[in-house]
Every structure is written in C-alpha cells, then in structure tokens.
Structure 1
Amino acid sequence: MKRDNPKGEKRSADSEPAVKAHSAQEAFSSYAAPLVDHAIEYANAVREDPSPEALHKLRVSLRRLRSLWWAFEPLLESGENTRQRALYKYLATAAGKTRDWDILIELLTRDDNGARSGTGEIAPKLQDARGAALTTSRETLSNADVKHLLREALSTASKELNTAHERTPLRKFAEQRVAASERSLKKRMKRARRAKRSNYVAFHNVRKAGKKLRYLLEFFGPILSGGRKRTLKRLKQIQKRFGTLNDVVASEMLLRDNAALLAGAGDPEAALHWLGKERKRRMRSAAGLLRKL
C-alpha cells in the first residue's frame, strides 16, 4: 500500500521563497500556502473522485499541515495553534474513515488472501460499507467548508507571525525543531524496544514520531546544515514497516467494530483470524527493525 508521499507535494513544501527567507516568521507562508492549496485541491477532488488515491492524498496533505503547525508552535499563540492542529486532525479523520475500508478490502482480497481469510462471501458487504463511509466523508468535508477553514487558518497564522516584534533566524529555528522531533522519536523508540510485544500503542507512537520528523526534514531540508540522507533512509524503513503493521491493526479493529454490518454474509471470523495472525507476524517484523536501528 502507498505510504505518505504524494507526488508533487514535497517540491511545493520546499519552495524557493522559503529557502531564501531570513527569518522563520517570514518563511512560514511559503511553506504553508502550497500545502493549503494542495489540501483544498484534494478536498474538491474527493467530491468527484471516489478512488482510494484521492482520499489518501487529502489525508496526507492534512497530516503535513498538522506537522507544519507543530513545527511553528513556539512562534504561534498556543491556544490557536492547538485548535488548528485539532482541525487538521478532524478533517484527516473524516477522509480516513473511507480510506480505512479501502485498506481492509485490499488486505483481504489481494493475491490469494481472499481464499485464506474467507473474504469471498463478505466482499459485497465490505464494498457497501465503503460506499456508506465515502458518503459520510464527502458530507463531512463539504459541511466543514474546507477551503474557507484552511484559508482562514493560513491567514490568521501568517498575520500573527508577520506582526511579531521578534525575528527568529530560519536555519536556527529549523535546526531546533528538527532536533526536538528527533529527541521525541528516539524516546519513543526506546520505549517500544522495552515494551511487551502486545503493546501496539508503543509501536504506533514510533510511527507517528517518525512520520513527523520525516515531514520536517522535507520542509527544512534545503536549509539544514549537514546531510540527512541516513536519517531519511531510517525513517522510510520505519514508515514502511510500521505502516504495514498499522494497516493490519486498524483493519482488525474496523472489522470487529462493524461485525453487525457483516452478519449473515460469509464468515467474518475467518477474516479476523487471518488478520490476527498477520498482526503478530508484522509486530515481530517491526520489533526486529527496532533492534537493528
């Protein structure tokens, strides 16, 4: 399954005006505006395009926005920053409800998994559930007026930063925020190494911290001192290995939570049994990667 790397977004986030800016306050809009444009574009696309890719791109755009607002948190009013990050999470969750069904369906039906997991008879029910989730996602995003909300968030944050009396050198600021994100990832990796194999939350926290750091390196890469190729390689390994684990865990929970929808259609227990075995296998794989890093 595709991980969080939509074509074209990285280049926009690392825009030339941001690289040339002297202060973090001055650079903010150059980082944020392209991300806002992408999110609005993808939100509009979801209205017409029911494909998994459109929803995936929207969710990734909103996650990148949330990470950028986290990066600039020290320079923004705390309450407003928290509200904006909560908004991005809410919108991403709305898009994610449909995306979760896509992942579940793909896991159970690709290759010969359908035969082993007993998916054949429940497949139509899964597609029906996916269709209902898409309708809800579209309604939520439409009612939220994504374009207005994101433009207003960008305007509010940009105004606050542009009128600030203090100026923070962009490179110094970027180095500090990346360092803070790196410390968070190392702390969570340490906890996950010590955690019991059944403690999925510890593994999930590693995935989230790794994703945030990767976004920050994509934002600030051109202005950071020293290369980060080795770090990015490690982050991609974490994202791939822990992402596949998350897919299985989220799919297993989704199937359990919607057991009533599948009643009378095949054998959902067979699918749950297969997902449970796959979760344990991928948990071992994720733990093995942690030991190597």
Structure 2
Amino acid sequence: MKPDRETVAEPAGEAPAQQAFASYAAPLVDEAIELANGIRHDASPEALHKLRVSLRRLRSLWWAFAPLLDKGENARQRAVYKFLATAAGKTRDWDILIELLSREGSGAQAFMPKLEQARSDTLATSRETLLNADVKHLLRDALATTSAQLHVMHQSDIALRKFAARRIDASERSLKKRIERARRAKRSHYDAFHDVRKAGKKLRYLFEFFGPVLRGGHKRTLKRLKKIQKRFGMLNDTVASEGLLRENAAALASAGDIEAALQWLDKKRKRRLRAASGLLG
C-alpha cells in the first residue's frame, strides 16, 4: 500500500541518518510516480511544473545523503532525476514563453498559434519520453538500491540532527560563494545569477526536509530563500524564453514580428535582472 504523505512520521533527530533516508525518500518517490502517471491525462502547465519540482526535490535529497553513499551510484541516480525533470521541463518552457508573450506589448499575437503547435509537439515528445522511461520502475529501483546501500555501508552511524546540520551548512556555504561570485560578475554574465538560483533552491529543499529535526528557528533564512527563488525564477523564465524564441526564430519568422517580441523580452529580462541583483546586497 502506498504511504500517505500526510501521515508518514517524521524521523527523530537522534535516529541514525542512514535509517532516516527512506522516511524522506519513499513519500517523494510515491509523489513523483503519481504525478508522472497523471501526465497521461493532465498535461496542463501546472501538472508538468509539479512533476519537475518533485523530481528536483528527489535530486536534492540524494545530494543531501551523498556523503553516506557510493559516489558513482549517487551520481547515476541524480542523473536519472535530471533527465526526467528535463523531459518534463521542455514542455513547461514553451508554457512559460507563451504566458510571457501573451501579455500586452509583446507583439506576439500573430504567431501565437505556431507557439501553441510547438508546445503540443513538444508535449507529445515529453510524454513519449516519460512513458518509455518507465518512471515507476526507475524511481522504485533507485529507492531500493540506495536504501540497501545505506544498510550495508561499513561506517559509523551519525545522528540525523548532526548530519542534517552539516549538510545545510555545506549548502549555505555554497550559496554564499555563488552570491559573492554573482556580485562581482557583470550583469551580462547570467550563469553566475543562475547558479545563485540553483543553490538557493537546493538549500530551501534541505530546510523543508530537515527543518523539524534542527535546533533553532530558520524563518528569516527561509523568507530570504523564497525571495531569491521568486525573483531569480522570474529572471530565469525570461532568459529561457528569450533563448527558446531565438532558437525557433526561423520557423516562426513568417508568422509575425519576431524581432519585436525579442526586444520586448530583452527589456523584461533587464528589469528582472536589476530586481534580482537587488537581493544580493
């Protein structure tokens, strides 16, 4: 029987981290499988977004437990989650572009039907990829393999609370390093800002996983992480949409004024970049 995500008991802080892994992983695996199955009947932007987020959370959880796992096997499992999230994300990227360009002033109304067709074609490919990947088998196998590995690894047990604190510290250091790098980078160097977004998202997921077993409050940190995720996420949406439109400009050129839409996205990207930069201090 599938565990109820709302009633699964939280692991105790003094329990061994190795034993606590399944308590975190099993509900996430169940959720991802359920969402992947749902794509057969519901291919809305929200459904695809939920699936991609679920897979990203799984990837972050496997990162959190990496010190207790074989490096090669852990990297392989995380690559699987990235592959599946990318498959779900390709359609989501078109959804974001369509949503942005549907706003007044973008000048994209003339080629909106072609964007919708491109979205439909990409969805068909995404569905085929996810169905052929056998998500249920992949995720169940990953859970079983990692759980077994944690059971047999010859290393001293470490209390979950201590382990969680170490991993959050490591994630916080990574985020601070990327913030410093973004502060020094020119605004045209988007990769530095994108790295801040990814590091902030990972840290937020770790707080969601381990928050109940940690000592002390983390409301201020979580509040800042949510701001970073929102503003940097909006920036990423614009950058990705601009790139997607440029990649497909030739196919869309006969349907409308591509250049006007690109100029509109360029202005929006610059505004969102200034807003995101303001959070770096």
User: In which range does the TM-score fall when normalised by the shorter chain?
Assistant: over 0.9
Identify which of 142, 149, 152 aligns with 2:141. 152
Q: Deviations over 1:217-247 (max 9, x none)?
A: 0000000111100000000010011000000
Q: Deviations over 1:187-235 (max 9, x none)?
A: 0001101111111100000000000000000000000111100000000
User: Does residue 199 of structure 1 match 2:189?
Assistant: yes
Gaps of 5+ in 2: none
Partner residue in 1 for 2:101: 108
The structural deviation recorded for 1:163 is 2.1
| 8 A Cα contact 2:13 2:159, kept in partner | no
SS state at 1:89 partner: helix
Q: Distance in 1 between matches of 2:205 and 2:232?
A: 16
2:277 alignment partner AA: A
What corresponds to 1:180 in structure 2?
170
**Deviation by residue 1:7-64 (Cα, 9 ceiling, x = unmatched):** xxxx949942423661110000000000000100010011111200110010000000
Residue 90 (1) aligns with residue 83 (2): yes
Question: Given the alignment, which residue of 1, 6, 18 partners 2:11?
Answer: 18
Aligned to 1:238: 228
CA distance in 1, matches of 2:7, 2:179: 28
Measured against aligned partners, the alpha-carbon deviations of 1:251-284 in whole angstroms (never above 9, x if no partner) come to: 0000001112213101111111100111111111
SS at 1:18 equivalent: coil
C-alpha distance in structure 1 between counterparts of 2:261 and 2:12, whole Å: 49
1:30-179 matches, cutoff 5 A? 30-110=23-103, 112=104, 116-165=105-154, 166-179=156-169
In the alignment, the residues of structure 1 paired with residue 150 and residue 118 of structure 2 have an alpha-carbon distance, to the nearest angstrom, of 44
Q: 2: distance between equivalents of 1:276 and 1:180?
A: 35
Name the counterpart of 1:221. Answer: 211
Give a deviation string over 1:100-150, Cα, whole Å, max 9, x none: 00000001113x2xxx21111010000000000100000000110000000
Secondary structure, aligned partner of 1:168? coil
**In 2, Cα distance between the equivalents of 1:242 and 1:250?**
12
Report the 3-state secondary structure (helix = DSSP H, G, I; strand = E; otherwise coil) of the residue aligned with 1:47.
coil
Give the unaligned 5+ runs of structure 1: 1-10
CA distance in 2 between counterparts of 1:23 and 1:55 reads 35
> In structure 1, how many angstroms separate the alpha carbons of the residues matched to 2:194 and 2:108?
27
Contact 1:13 1:219 in 2 (8 A): no
Question: Relative to structure 1, is the Cα distance of residues 18 and 261 closer, same or farther in structure 2, using a 3 angstrom cutoff?
Answer: farther
Query: Number of aligned pairs?
Result: 277
The CA distance in 2 between the partners of 1:280 and 1:72, in whole Å, is: 38
* % identical equivalent positions: 70
1:59-111 C-alpha deviation (Å, 9 max, x unpaired): 0000000000000000011000001101100100000000000000001113x
CA contact (8 A) 1:46 1:55 kept: yes
State the alpha-carbon separation in 2 of the partners of residues 148 and 16 from structure 1.
25
Could you tell which deviates more after superposition, 181-190 or 17-26? 17-26
The code of the aligned residue for 1:96 comes to G
Per mean C-alpha deviation after superposition, the further-off stretch among 207-216 and 160-169 is 160-169
Taking the aligned partners of 2:118 and 2:69, their CA distance within structure 1 comes to: 40
Structure 2 residue identity aligned to 1:256? R
CA–CA distance in 2 between the matches of 1:207 and 1:27? 28
Superposition RMSD in Å: 1.4
